[in-house]
């Protein structure tokens, strides 16, 4: 077992199983690149401030880079007894360059070090998520462009409501994701801040230059208060929330995909590449990817709640409870990136069964509002029209017909102003076309919407 970096005031060593409980190395090695980047900035600044010599700084930087390389080549095995990524790297550094390695931690604590690592990591990952969301939005937009004229039933309460354009329906997710990416963009303001130099909590007596490390690490700003710098985990809560809400959105689309691909609906066909079979039922083709994404919201919600509860009632400044901020965040990142990637593939390879959608929408009462509107055009108050149509629908249910099948004399027995043009009026594509209000499902309105969506995406490039 290696000597503890903090072993000086101790007479006894913890037993291995106690070390195992305390250690974070098995998950915080994810932060190796950020940890080394932060240490290089710190060592560079220490030399500029003449706290260590230029030669010492160069030696430290060189050794840190070789540790990083060796780690990625699988040549380093970290030790649990050395607790975490910070102490493991420091130990390795001292092994390689001796006493000079021990100078790196001057004017620094693991408290500001781990906060720096987490800020760098979260910033990097959030930028990846934003890019992935943009790419997924592009996929949705391309799909929508192909289906402006594909008419499908729009639902409320999962009951057929009114005919809509498939493009209009799918574009709803484009706008949800637009809000998601803008939430991530906004969070970056609070992620992109340097805590480095706060040391344990109170700052340091060494003449360090926090602005220099901020610039070297490419942080937009720096914490004004050293205690806040090491105690703040708000940006992690916020990031977990934004991940979770995006996952909630993906789960809603996943649910639609699952329903649309069912035998009952057959609105879409998933490509084989994004489906799986059954080990017992040879006919099955299951939408497992969509179901998994729907299911994974359980864990991302858990990570958010878990972080909030960890922070609740936590006194200033650093407390070991904060080590619990990592696994949830790392897992949430993997989950959302995996889900976005799968979803993009699934959506860009699925087939929208246009014929099926177009005929489905004729086998329901989703044109009932049209009939009421028709009567309104004839001067009947909407409330009365609603009641008349209700009676006609009831007649249809009793006589096993849809509105397009009702003979004209039956219509006229319900209201004399209904004429033979009603059959054209009730066609689902006519119903969609008549919707000209801004942001509606009418083909012209949808084309305008797609144009605006394009502008949103091009502004980001």
Give contact residues for ligand ARG (rule: CB under 6 A). 24, 28, 84, 110-111, 114, 318, 320, 322-323
Kindly give the pairing relationship between strand 151-156 and strand 159-165: antiparallel
Find, among 179, 190, 194, the residue nearest to 234 by Cα. 190
Cα separation of 61 and 40, whole Å? 6
Cα separation of 125 and 75, whole Å? 26
- Residue 193: CB minimum distance to ligand ARG, A: 18
Cα separation of 108 and 447, whole Å? 57
Nearer to ligand ARG, 111 or 239 (CB): 111
- Residue 275: CB minimum distance to ligand ARG, A: 41
Establish whether 72 is a catalytic residue: no
Q: Are 428 and 364 in contact (CB under 8 A)?
A: no
- Residue 111: CB minimum distance to ligand ARG, A: 5
**CB atoms inside a 10 Å sphere around CB 225:** 12
Establish whether 279 is a catalytic residue: no
Q: How open is the CA angle 342-183-24, to the nearest 5 degrees?
A: 70
Q: Find all residues with CB under 8 Å of 261, minimum gap 6, and list them.
A: 267, 268, 269, 270, 287, 290, 350
Ranges assigned E (strand) in 34-169: 151-156, 159-165
87 sits in which H/E element:
helix 85-97
Nearer to ligand ARG, 59 or 112 (CB): 112
- Residue 235: CB minimum distance to ligand ARG, A: 15
Three-state SS for 47? Answer: helix
Nearer to ligand ARG, 203 or 338 (CB): 203
Q: How far is CA 279 from CA 262, 271, 335, in A?
A: 19, 19, 26
Find, among 93, 89, 81, 78, the residue nearest to 1 by Cα. 81
Nearer to ligand ARG, 84 or 370 (CB): 84
- Residue 86: CB minimum distance to ligand ARG, A: 6
Q: Which of 202, 278, 413, 454 is catalytic?
A: 278
Q: Which of 157, 279, 420, 437 is catalytic?
A: 157
Nearer to ligand ARG, 151 or 230 (CB): 230
Active site residues: 157, 278
């Amino acid at each position: 077992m290696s000597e503890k970096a903090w072993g000086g005031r101790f007479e006894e060593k913890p037993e291995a199983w106690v070390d195992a409980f305390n250690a974070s190395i098995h998950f915080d090695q994810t932060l190796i690149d950020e940890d080394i980047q932060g240490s290089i900035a710190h060592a560079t600044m220490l030399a500029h401030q003449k706290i260590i010599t230029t030669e010492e700084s160069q030696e430290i930087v060189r050794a840190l880079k070789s540790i990083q390389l060796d780690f990625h080549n699988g040549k380093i095995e970290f030790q649990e007894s050395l607790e975490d990524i910070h102490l493991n790297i420091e130990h390795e550094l001292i092994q390689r360059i001796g006493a000079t390695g021990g100078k790196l931690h001057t004017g620094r604590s693991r408290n500001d070090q781990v906060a720096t690592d987490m800020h760098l990591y979260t910033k990097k990952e959030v930028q990846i998520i934003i890019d992935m969301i943009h790419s997924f939005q592009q996929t949705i937009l391309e799909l929508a462009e192909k289906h402006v004229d594909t008419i499908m039933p729009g639902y409320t309460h999962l009951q057929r409501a009114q005919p809509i354009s498939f493009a209009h329906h799918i574009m709803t997710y484009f706008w949800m994701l637009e809000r998601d990416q803008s939430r991530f963009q906004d969070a970056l303001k609070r992620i992109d801040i340097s805590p480095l130099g706060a040391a344990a909590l109170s700052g340091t007596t060494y003449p360090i230059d926090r602005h220099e490390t901020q610039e070297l690490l490419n942080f937009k700003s720096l914490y004004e208060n050293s205690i806040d710098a090491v105690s703040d985990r708000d940006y992690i809560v916020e990031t977990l929330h934004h991940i979770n809400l995006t996952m909630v959105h993906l789960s809603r689309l996943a649910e639609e995909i699952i329903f649309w691909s069912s035998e009952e609906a057959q609105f879409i066909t998933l490509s084989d590449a994004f489906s799986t079979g059954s080990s017992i039922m040879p006919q099955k083709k299951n939408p497992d990817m969509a179901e998994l994404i729907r299911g994974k919201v359980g864990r991302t919600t858990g990570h958010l709640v878990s972080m909030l509860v960890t922070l609740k009632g936590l006194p200033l400044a650093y407390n070991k409870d904060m080590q619990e901020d990592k696994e949830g965040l790392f897992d949430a990142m993997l989950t959302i990136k995996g889900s976005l990637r799968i979803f993009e593939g699934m959506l860009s390879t699925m087939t929208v069964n246009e014929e099926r959608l177009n005929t489905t929408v004729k086998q329901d009462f989703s044109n009932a509002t049209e009939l009421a509107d028709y009567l309104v055009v004839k001067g009947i108050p909407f409330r009365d029209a609603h009641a008349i149509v209700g009676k006609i629908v009831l007649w249809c249910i009793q006589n096993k017909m849809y509105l397009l099948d009702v003979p004209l004399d039956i219509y006229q027995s319900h209201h004399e102003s209904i004429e033979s043009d009603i059959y054209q009026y009730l066609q689902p594509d006519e119903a969609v076309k008549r919707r000209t209000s801004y942001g509606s499902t009418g083909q012209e309105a949808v084309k305008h919407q797609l144009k605006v969506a394009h502008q949103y995406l091009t502004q980001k490039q």
